[in-house]
Amino acid sequence: MMLIKTVEELKNVLFQINCGGKSVGFVPTMGALHEGHLSLMKRARKENQVTICSIFVNPTQFNNADDLKHYPRSLEKDIAFVQNYMDFIFAPSVEEVYAVPATEQYHFGDLETVMEGSARPSHFNGVAIIVKRLFDWIQPDRAYFGEKDFQQIAIIKSLVKQFNLPIQIVPCPIVRDENGLALSSRNMRLSETERQIAANIYRVLKESTAIKTKQVSAIQKFVADELAKFDIFHLEYYEIVNADTLHPIQNLDDAPSVVGCIAIYAGEVRLIDNIRYK
pLDDT at residue 19 tops 80: no
Tell me whether residue 37 is in a domain.
yes
Last residue of a domain, one of 172, 195, 224: 172
Query: What is the 3 state secondary structure string of the chain?
Result: CEEECCHHHHHHHHHHHHHCCCCEEEEEECCCCCHHHHHHHHHHHHHCCEEEEEECCCHHHCCCHHHHHHCCCCHHHHHHHHCCCCCEEECCCHHHHCCCCCCCCCCCHHHHCCCHHHHCCCHHHHHHHHHHHHHHHHCCCEEEEEHHHHHHHHHHHHHHHHCCCCCEEEEECCCECCCCCECCHHHHHCCHHHHHHHHHHHHHHHHHCCCCCCEHHHHHHHHHHHHCCCCCEEEEEEEEEECCCCCECCEHHHCCCEEEEEEEEECCEEEEEEEECC
Min mean pLDDT across 12-21, 138-147, 192-201 is at 12-21
67 and 144 part of one domain: yes
Same-domain status, 168 and 90: yes
236, 264 in Cβ contact below 8 A?
yes
pLDDT (tens digit, 9 = 90+) per residue, 153-196? 999 999 999 999 999 999 999 999 999 999 999 999 999 999 99
197: confidence class by pLDDT, cuts 50, 70, 90: very high
Which of 143, 172, 201 is the endpoint of a domain? 172
Question: Do 166 and 205 share a structural domain?
Answer: no
162 and 27 belong to one structural domain: yes
What is the tally of structural domains in the chain? 2
Q: Both 151 and 42 in a single domain?
A: yes
263 shares its domain with 131: no
Q: 229 and 143, same structural domain?
A: no
Here the CATH number for the domain that contains residue 30 is: 3.40.50.620
Q: Is residue 260 part of a domain?
A: yes
Domain that holds residue 98: 2-172
Give the mean model confidence (pLDDT) for residues 11-36: 91
Residue 14 lies in a domain: yes
**pLDDT, tens digit, 9 for 90 and up, residues 41-72:** 999 999 999 999 999 999 999 988 888 888 98
Enter the pTM of the model.
Answer: 0.95
Which of residues 119 and 27 earns the better pLDDT score?
27
Q: Which of 172, 201, 235 is the last residue of a domain?
A: 172
201 plus 81 within the same structural domain:
no
Tell me, yes or no, whether 56 and 117 share the same domain: yes
Whether residue 82 is contained in a domain is answered as yes
What's the pLDDT score for residue 20? 77
Specify the pLDDT at position 75.
Answer: 94
Asked whether residue 177 is domain-assigned, the answer is no
Residues recognised as catalytic: 37
Do 157 and 93 fall within a single domain?
Answer: yes
Residue 106 shares a structural domain with residue 227: no
Mean pLDDT for 239-257 is: 97
Strands 258-266 and 88-90: unpaired
In this structure, what CATH number is given to the domain that contains residue 256?
3.30.1300.10
